Amino acid sequence: MTLRTAEQYKEGLRDNRKVYILGEQVTDVTRDPYIKVGVETAACEFLMSHDPEYKNIAVMKDPETGEEVSSYFTVPDYPEFAAERYELIKASCYYSGFVLPFVKDVGADIINALTVVAALSGEKKYAERINEYRWYCARNDLAMAGVVTDVKGDRSKSPHKQKVSDYYLKVVDETEDEIVVSGAKAHITAAPYVDEFLVIPSRNMSEKDADYAVAFAIPASSPGITQICRPSFPYENKYDFPTPQPNRGHVESLVIFDEVRVPKNRVFMLREWEFAQNLAYTFAFFHRFTAVSYKIPVLEFMTGLGILVAEANGIHKASHVREQIINMIRYTETTKALAKAALHEPENILGSGYYIPNRLITNMAKLHFASNFHEYIRDIQDIAGGLLVTQPTYQDWENSTLRPYLERYLGGANGYSAAERLKLFSYLHHIGASDFAGWHEVCTLHAEGSLASQKMMLLIEAPIDFYKKKAKEIVGINV
């Protein structure tokens, strides 16, 4: 099969997957009012690969067949990989308009991490399986979710010490051809609307945790898998002013594995507990770079909205507002500069022959983004004013009795009519004051790892011995 169209992608989701939302089973995820938001956002990935303007970045030639496949499946065995991935992620985000489609990138990050760890462990069968799987996904143009975060129970205890034995996903049975797994993975982005789940451990393991050291791939519609989703916002939103494209966003799910059978040719780690940490970390290196890359279009867009609302309110020249605009620019451009610095210093990861962006700088970029986002949003909220939460809806605008009042009283400065100003506020509400805005703030802190996980990486990756050596040389300490 060549590259799928958006319609073929959606058609592929109409299977017997078990997805629930608001307590009800969903018969067709492409039509559910809430999940449809995510389906349409993800579909942008498939639209982009057919768009002549984006094709040179979104599509590559399959090295074996010469057919066109998605560039997300590139093998990262050359230093320029990082720079190319950065451009691809940004293009996906610009194309969808604000939100990354999220159905190729995380999966590709996991395939890359599994490729690196198979090389490091010297397990030839895993190297062959993951290579075969990479091209299976590429040639069928599949959508993938990264299924990593376990529900974890008591965070202070390792997997085998938990009160519920499968708070971390584990192998519960094994035959010659299959393994059987049980457990639950949480907050999985795009899970209701992908073809494949890529499942890996979320942490380091000890020998006693060997049954939890398991990595595999499985179709999302496999028997024994149940997904429970939480709605964010509906696709048809009558409150908001219409914009050239609908609001984008994603749906996460709690994915339950109840004695799910996985064929062994899709198993990439089975009880090699010594490599679980390596796999979790390597995935985090690839994935945090994906994260900082897609944050950049998001920040450019949001900073643009912040500056526009300052102009629409006639305050953009006030000294305190200029200070806030400077802060927004500084935050946006520092995040961008760190991401670019990371890709300019790619690393041959642990001598495996595969390349990732610089690990220390990638973690600094993600930490910088996540640590400062709430203040950034506060500045946009401050500049915008209370209309952010009290503005009349589009339904009021459509009412012929009310519209003259709105036109008369809600106009703005610098040529902003009431219609333009309300349209701007409508989007600002979405990103700065809605349920989705709350989701975004939490997403910023936790998705791609909590603040502590990036800080830990700084301690691991920073040249601390070098810092100390220099200080000792200058002060004359011989300890």
Ligand X SMILES: Cc1cc2nc3c(=O)[nH]c(=O)nc-3n(C[C@H](O)[C@H](O)[C@H](O)COP(=O)(O)OP(=O)(O)OC[C@H]3O[C@@H](n4cnc5c(N)ncnc54)[C@H](O)[C@@H]3O)c2cc1C
Chosen residue from 30, 149, 332, 363 binding ligand X by CB under 6 A:
149
Using CB under 6 A, which of the segments 56-64, 74-82, 278-286, 446-454 binds ligand X?
446-454
Chosen residue from 352, 446, 456, 458 binding ligand X by CB under 6 A:
446
Smallest distance from the beta carbon of 103 to ligand X, in angstroms?
10
Alpha-carbon distance values, 234 to 239, 246, 298, 472 (Å): 11, 10, 21, 60
| Binding status of residue 447 toward ligand X by CB under 6 A | yes
Residue nearer to ligand X on the CB measure, 99 or 188: 188
Residue nearer to ligand X on the CB measure, 395 or 450: 450
Residue nearer to ligand X on the CB measure, 404 or 438: 438
| Binding status of residue 201 toward ligand X by CB under 6 A | no
Q: Give the Cα separation of 469 and 479 in Å (integer).
A: 10
Chosen residue from 370, 432, 449, 457 binding ligand X by CB under 6 A:
449
- Give the ranges where 359-417 is alpha helix by DSSP (H): 359-384, 387-390, 394-397, 403-409
Q: Are 117 and 279 in contact (CB under 8 A)?
A: yes
Smallest distance from the beta carbon of 11 to ligand X, in angstroms?
24
Using CB under 6 A, which of the segments 351-359, 381-389, 407-415, 448-456 binds ligand X?
448-456
Smallest distance from the beta carbon of 146 to ligand X, in angstroms?
5
Cβ density class 303-330: b for 16+ within 10 Å, e for less = bebbbbbbbbbebbeeeebeebbebbee
Residue nearest to ligand X (CB): 148
Smallest distance from the beta carbon of 50 to ligand X, in angstroms?
26
Chosen residue from 6, 35, 106, 292 binding ligand X by CB under 6 A:
106
| Binding status of residue 152 toward ligand X by CB under 6 A | yes
Residues written for the chain: 479
| Binding status of residue 105 toward ligand X by CB under 6 A | no
- The SS3 of residue 123 is coil
Q: Which residue has the tokens 């799928």?
A: 4
Using CB under 6 A, which of the segments 33-41, 85-93, 143-151, 175-183 binds ligand X?
143-151
| 220 conformational bin, left if phi > 0, alpha if psi -120 to 50, beta if neither | alpha
Using CB under 6 A, which of the segments 14-22, 48-56, 64-72, 144-152 binds ligand X?
144-152
Q: Which residues contact 377 (CB under 8 A, 6 or more apart)?
A: 432, 437, 441
| Binding status of residue 459 toward ligand X by CB under 6 A | no
| Binding status of residue 450 toward ligand X by CB under 6 A | yes
Total residues in contact with ligand X, by rule CB under 6 A: 19
Bridge partners of 61, per DSSP, are 68
| Binding status of residue 374 toward ligand X by CB under 6 A | no
| Binding status of residue 452 toward ligand X by CB under 6 A | yes
Q: Which residues contact 168 (CB under 8 A, 6 or more apart)?
A: 150, 151, 152, 159, 162, 183, 201, 202, 203, 209, 212
Smallest distance from the beta carbon of 168 to ligand X, in angstroms?
11
Q: Are 59 and 68 in contact (CB under 8 A)?
A: yes
Amino acid identity, position 266: R
Smallest distance from the beta carbon of 292 to ligand X, in angstroms?
15
| Binding status of residue 188 toward ligand X by CB under 6 A | yes
Q: Give the Cα separation of 251 and 255 in Å (integer).
A: 12
Report DSSP state, residue 324: H
Q: Which of 88, 191, 67, 190 is nearest to 135 (CA)?
A: 67
Binding site for ligand X (CB under 6 A): 106, 146-149, 152, 155-156, 187-189, 252, 442-443, 446-447, 449-450, 452
